[in-house]
Amino acid sequence: MNTHSRHRVRPAATSASIWTMAVLVSCLGLYELWAYLVVRMPHVSQAFAGGMVAAGATALGTLPVVLSQTLSQRTQDIMFGFGAGVMLAASAFSLVVPGIAAAGSLGHGPWGAAGIVGGAVLIGGAVLLLMDRVLPHEHFIKGKEGADAQKLRRTWLFVFAIALHNVPEGLAIGVGFVGGDPVRGTALATGIAIQDVPEGLVVAVALLAAGYARATAVSIGMLSGLVEPLGAVVGAAVVGWSAALLPWGLGFAAGAMLFVVSHEIIPESHRKGHEVHATAGLMVGFVLMMALDTALG
């Protein structure tokens, strides 16, 4: 009996040892990479730190969901409207306007810069339309059909658009730290971080409204910001390449967000008879994000 028990324990112990060793090796590798970046490429390490600040701000935005009670349908629709307003303002003031400016700084004239960003907006919307057609409308999640599956599909398109929007923001943070001016990069990272707070909130609220557990909604809301430090490192390490792609990335993210707002979020917030409350939430979200964008530059 004891012999059999020992035989049952050994595979589990061996597996645990392998995972522990893998984690230790990974941590050691990350430490060595960080040490290399600090010594050889300090602007990359600074960009990574700036990106982590922005990711932390996204995580901070999810805290109200941790502390709140169950949300009523009207409150959910208000928050959907608020998220739509945030995304509309972000697409205009965080993405389209800076994208046109970035294209202009690369030598394109006003029409050329507008054409690049406008084309990227249409491509972003087309990609999200393709995703809308490809993602299964039924059985999207095992055991979910009909209206539940539709709601989950809308929610994940929404989460994807927010995460996608964080990629060019991370690139912008990385580019901001290049050129030996950490003050400029820090100011940019701080401004983007403040803007990310309401984004973390709307992601968590959307997932909570879709029926996910509070811990799951908060965790995914926090994780949605982790693409920013990755984008910051890429932007700082490959500045010439990322600078050329920046207006395209900004426009693409704007198009994806516009598609989700028009095709998914606004219709969802108006389905239950709370159109006035949802519209009020949209306007407040738009004004808040506009003020953050324009005041923080």
Q: For residue 182, give both structure tokens.
A: 């950490």
Give CA torsion, residues 198, 203, 208, 214, to 10 deg.
-80
pLDDT at 92 over 70: yes
The larger pLDDT score, comparing residue 125 to residue 18, is at 125
Question: What is the structure's pLDDT at 233?
Answer: 80
The larger pLDDT score, comparing residue 50 to residue 296, is at 50
Task: For the chain, give the mean pLDDT.
Answer: 75
pLDDT at 146 over 60: no
Q: Which of 264, 295, 297 is nearest to 81 (CA)?
A: 264
pTM, entire model: 0.63
Q: Which of 79, 38, 83 is nearest to 209 (CA)?
A: 79
The larger pLDDT score, comparing residue 2 to residue 150, is at 150
As a whole number, mean pLDDT of residues 53-63 equals 85
| Amino acid identity at 151 | K
The beta strand positions in 55-100, using DSSP E, are none
User: Alpha-carbon distance 117 to 120, whole Å?
Assistant: 5
Question: What is the structure's pLDDT at 154?
Answer: 66
Question: What is the structure's pLDDT at 112?
Answer: 94
Helix (H, G, I), strand (E, B) or coil at 210: coil
Using CB atoms within 10 A of its CB, is residue 188 exposed (0-12), middle (13-18) or buried (19+)? Answer: buried
Q: Which of 230, 154, 159 is nearest to 201 (CA)?
A: 159
Task: State the pLDDT confidence band at 114, using cuts at 50, 70 and 90.
Answer: very high
Residue that the structure tokens 């709140």 belong to? 68
pLDDT at 4 over 70: no
